[in-house]
């Protein structure tokens, strides 16, 4: 038998059920892998005692459920009772929640074993993990013939690196504009963002509330399906939670594309598109066609406005959400000598937030300020409506959309020092976020430099099943077996 | 529209983020770079389009107006940078 850490989540589940190994053995194998890979900086906090205690409870029959004994990493955006939760920010260093987020509570209910908290871009603002206050996460991948360290993508970069390097069976991620899909593509794993409202936002530190959604990241589509069913579900504590039953996605997975119509959005074929990305996309189209899908060309005319819309809406919501970090109720406080309470607020936030977070708070503050609100924020909300309408019209003609996940493979640290260049990396993922649609990235091939490339599937609202089926079809056809 | 150093200081004040004199020119440049780019939204014809605040159609749910938790003062204060006598403590507000 190969190393326990090499098994897929589904294989671990089967092995535990058949008593081929114990949950403690499985947890220990991952804890050892984590200890041997600390140079990746994927974890901010490791919780070995907690993991082994939870695993032992599974072995002793005291904990059970569909994910009993499965070792997971948790993005540091999810509040975990008794375990430091920082959102990758200095302002929350030392913050130990006294409550559990609904998503992680669901996973614990189902028997999962948590290995620790995963590094991320500060408050999920970034596409490379370079904005974390706890140091950058390093991708386990290297380009052929090069020793240069590469970004794991972001913001769920710790999750991506840990799953790819076999430090956990799967990980939670969150996606506001692509933060599950882009890092999944960069490290050759799968990840799905469900329909907005499927996963509760309660206890997940807020970035942009109308966009934030949690989702799983794992090495196979089936593994994502197993985690997704557990993570999702109605929660009265989240006012936007959908009161709709969640299917057993893994049980329903067929991977069949017979009779399905796959839409190819013409506007996603950008001028100057990386030929490797274009070729992979064409290959994906051919794969789905061979599986019996009908390929249709669709138009999403407002695509080019999605990124600027996002960079008004998300910072506006962030400036409001992050107002809570005032040094009063939690988080770190800085009080200048002789300063009053206002000086304390300003000094606390200046010291606690990193450059990118400050930049976005200031943009958000500006676009919401008197005199500019209509020109920026209201206009962005209207364009957002048009972007959502584009998708509605496209889904009259097709069942799912197929696109690349990112415009390039993983890049080097510092390669996108200009904020705008970094923002453009989310060009293919942001539109589905604005429309609240389910979307996933599946590893589909390697670049000439030997780095993973992903394809994205976008589905109708609530059709995670259709997205996962198309994902499985790509996964089977691609036979992606490369590893770092 | 573009921002100058005076506007950047005003935004920083509204956002309750202290900025040093050294930081202002860089922020002016970065914010103008981003604002100049998002301004392309102005070219989209949005006449008669309702602004979309949420992807959720319909109304927000209601719940009974009842107390659902409480009696957890120690948990609430556990992460406070400064707490005294069961309260959050802050620097003097009234002279």
pLDDT digits (tens, 9 = 90+) for B34-92: 999 999 999 999 999 999 988 877 677 888 999 988 999 999 999 999 999 999 999 88
Tell which of A193, A306, A308, A335 to mutate to test the B interface (max B CBs under 10 Å): A308
A319 → closest Cβ in B15, B72, B76:
B15
Give the bridge partners for A440, in sequence order.
A192, A457
Question: Which tokens is A75 given?
Answer: 């993005």
How many C-beta atoms surround the C-beta of residue A228 within 10 A?
A: 27
Asked if A74 and A213 sit in the same domain, the reply is yes
Among the three residues A371, A399, A414, which one is the final residue of a domain in this structure? A371
In the sheet with A400-404, reading across from the earlier edge strand, the strands are A43-46, A113-118, A71-75, A170-175, A213-218, A190-193, A439-446, A452-459, A400-404, A261-265, A294-298
- Name the residue in chain A with its Cα closest to that of B46: A382
**A155 preceded by a cis bond (ω within 30 of 0):** yes
Q: What is the DSSP letter of A78?
A: B
Nearest-CA distance B81 → chain A (Å): 6
| Residue A153 counted as domain residue | yes
Asked if A322 and A451 sit in the same domain, the reply is no
Catalytic residue among A89, A101, A127, A155: A155
Asked if A148 and A228 sit in the same domain, the reply is yes
| Residue A72 counted as domain residue | yes
* B17·A349 Cβ contact <8 A: yes
| Residue B91 counted as domain residue | no
* A345·B82 Cβ contact <8 A: no
| Residue B11 counted as domain residue | yes
Asked if A325 and A201 sit in the same domain, the reply is no
| Residue A432 counted as domain residue | no
Question: Can you tell me whether residue A239 is helix, strand or coil?
Answer: coil
Asked if A28 and A138 sit in the same domain, the reply is yes
* B11·A323 Cβ contact <8 A: no
| Residue A483 counted as domain residue | no
| Residue B68 counted as domain residue | no
Instruction: Enumerate residues 259 to 298 of chain A having a beta carbon within 8 A of any beta carbon in chain B.
Output: none
Give catalytic status of residue A179 as yes or no.
Answer: yes
| Residue B20 counted as domain residue | yes
Q: What angle do CA A33, A38, A39 make, to 5 degrees?
A: 125
Among the three residues A371, A402, A428, which one is the final residue of a domain in this structure? A371
Q: Are A178 and A153 in contact (CB under 8 A)?
A: no
* A363·B80 Cβ contact <8 A: no
Alpha-carbon distance of A182 to A191, in angstroms, equals 9
The length of chain B, given as a count of residues: 95
10 Å CB burial of residue A283 (0-12, 13-18, 19+) is middle
Among the three residues A328, A356, A371, which one is the final residue of a domain in this structure? A371
| Residue B17 counted as domain residue | yes
Residue A182 pLDDT? 98
Helices (H), ranges, A136-274: 157-164, 181-187, 221-231, 249-252
Counting the structural domains of chain B, the total is 1
Chain B contact set for A99 (CB, 8 A): 75
Counting the structural domains of chain A, the total is 2
Tell which of A362, A427, A434, A459 to mutate to test the B interface (max B CBs under 10 Å): A362
| Residue A386 counted as domain residue | no
Give the list of residues 6+ apart from residue A416 with CB closer than 8 angstroms, or none: A127, A128, A422, A425
Residue B15 pLDDT? 98
Residue A30 pLDDT? 98
| Residue A414 counted as domain residue | no
A452 CB near a chain B CB, below 8 Å?
no
| Residue A470 counted as domain residue | yes
Asked if A465 and A346 sit in the same domain, the reply is no
Asked if A229 and A148 sit in the same domain, the reply is yes
| Residue A247 counted as domain residue | yes
Compute mean pLDDT per 10 residues along chain A, 484 residues long, and list them. Answer: 88 98 98 98 98 98 98 98 98 98 98 98 96 98 96 97 98 98 98 98 97 98 98 95 96 97 96 94 98 98 97 98 97 93 96 97 97 95 98 98 97 91 93 98 97 98 98 98 95
* B51·A382 Cβ contact <8 A: yes
B93 → closest Cβ in A98, A196, A341:
A341
Give catalytic status of residue A75 as yes or no.
Answer: yes
Question: Domain containing A219 — which CATH number?
Answer: 3.90.1300.10
* B41·A386 Cβ contact <8 A: no
Alpha-carbon distance of A88 to A198, in angstroms, equals 25
A362 → closest Cβ in B12, B33, B40:
B12
| Residue B30 counted as domain residue | yes
Asked if A441 and A338 sit in the same domain, the reply is no
Give catalytic status of residue A155 as yes or no.
Answer: yes
Place of tokens 């920082």: A86
For residue B26, the enclosing domain spans 5-41
Give the list of residues 6+ apart from residue A315 with CB closer than 8 angstroms, or none: A208, A360, A361, A363, A364, A367
Q: Are strands A113-118 and A261-265 parallel, antiparallel or unpaired?
A: unpaired
Give the list of residues 6+ apart from residue A240 with CB closer than 8 angstroms, or none: A196, A197, A201, A209, B54, B56, B60
Residue A1 pLDDT? 43
Nearest-CA distance B6 → chain A (Å): 13
Catalytic residue among A75, A117, A260, A416: A75
Chain B contact set for A97 (CB, 8 A): 79
Q: Tally C-beta pairs within 8 A across A and B.
A: 162
For residue A348, the enclosing domain spans 305-371
pTM: 0.97
From first CA to last CA, the distance across chain B in angstroms is 41
* B38·A376 Cβ contact <8 A: yes
């Amino acid at each position: 038998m190969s190393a326990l850490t090499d098994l897929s989540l589904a294989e671990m589940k089967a092995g535990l059920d058949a008593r081929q190994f114990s949950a403690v053995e499985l947890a220990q194998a991952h804890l050892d892998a984590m200890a041997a890979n600390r140079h990746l900086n994927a974890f901010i906090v490791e919780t070995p005692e907690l993991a082994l205690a939870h695993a032992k409870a599974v072995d002793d029959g005291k904990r059970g459920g569909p994910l009993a004994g499965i070792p997971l990493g948790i993005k540091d955006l999810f509040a975990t009772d008794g375990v430091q939760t920082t959102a990758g920010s200095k302002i929350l260093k030392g913050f130990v929640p006294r409550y559990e987020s609904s998503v992680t509570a669901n996973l614990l209910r189902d028997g999962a074993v948590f290995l620790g908290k995963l590094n991320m871009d500060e408050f999920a603002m970034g596409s490379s993990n370079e904005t974390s206050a706890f140091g950058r996460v390093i991708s386990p991948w290297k380009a052929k013939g090069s020793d240069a360290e590469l970004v794991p993508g972001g913001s769920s970069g710790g999750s991506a690196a840990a799953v790819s390097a076999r430090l956990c069976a799967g990980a939670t991620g969150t996606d506001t504009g692509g933060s599950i899909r882009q890092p999944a593509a960069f490290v050759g794993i799968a990840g799905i963002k469900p329909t907005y409202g499927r996963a509760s936002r309660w206890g997940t530190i807020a970035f942009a509330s109308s966009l934030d959604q949690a989702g799983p990241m794992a090495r196979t589509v089936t593994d994502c399906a197993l985690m997704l069913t557990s993570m999702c579900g109605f929660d009265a504590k989240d006012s936007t939670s959908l009161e709709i039953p969640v299917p057993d996605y893994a049980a329903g997975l067929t991977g069949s594309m017979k009779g399905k119509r796959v839409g190819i959005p013409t506007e996603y074929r950008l001028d100057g598109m990386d030929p490797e990305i274009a070729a992979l996309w064409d290959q994906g189209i051919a794969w789905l066609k061979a599986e019996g899908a009908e390929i249709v060309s669709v138009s999403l005319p407002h695509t080019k406005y999605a990124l600027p819309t996002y960079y008004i809406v998300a910072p506006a919501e962030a400036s409001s959400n992050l107002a809570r970090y005032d040094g009063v109720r939690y988080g770190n406080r800085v009080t200048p000598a002789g300063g009053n309470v206002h000086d304390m607020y300003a000094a606390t936030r200046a010291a606690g937030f990193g450059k990118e977070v400050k930049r976005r708070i200031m943009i958000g503050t500006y676009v919401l300020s008197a005199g500019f609100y209509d020109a920026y924020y209201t206009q962005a909300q209207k364009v957002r409506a048009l972007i959502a309408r584009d998708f509605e019209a496209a889904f009259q003609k097709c069942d799912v959309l197929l696109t690349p996940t990112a415009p390039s493979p993983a890049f080097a640290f510092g390669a996108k020092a200009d904020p705008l260049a970094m923002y453009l990396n989310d060009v293919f993922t942001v539109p589905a976020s604005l429309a609240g649609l389910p979307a996933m990235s599946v590893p589909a091939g390697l670049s000439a430099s030997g780095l993973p490339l992903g394809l994205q599937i976008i589905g109708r609202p609530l059709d995670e099943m259709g997205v996962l089926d198309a994902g499985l079809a790509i996964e089977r056809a691609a036979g992606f077996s490369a590893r770092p | 529209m573009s921002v100058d150093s005076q506007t950047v200081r005003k935004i920083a004040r509204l956002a309750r983020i202290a900025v040093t004199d050294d930081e202002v020119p860089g922020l002016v440049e970065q914010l103008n770079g981003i604002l100049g780019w998002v301004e392309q939204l102005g070219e989209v014809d949005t006449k008669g389009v309702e602004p979309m605040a949420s992807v959720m159609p319909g109304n927000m749910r209601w719940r009974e107006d009842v107390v659902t938790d409480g009696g957890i003062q120690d948990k609430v204060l556990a992460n406070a940078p400064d707490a005294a006598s069961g309260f959050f403590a802050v620097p003097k507000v009234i002279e």
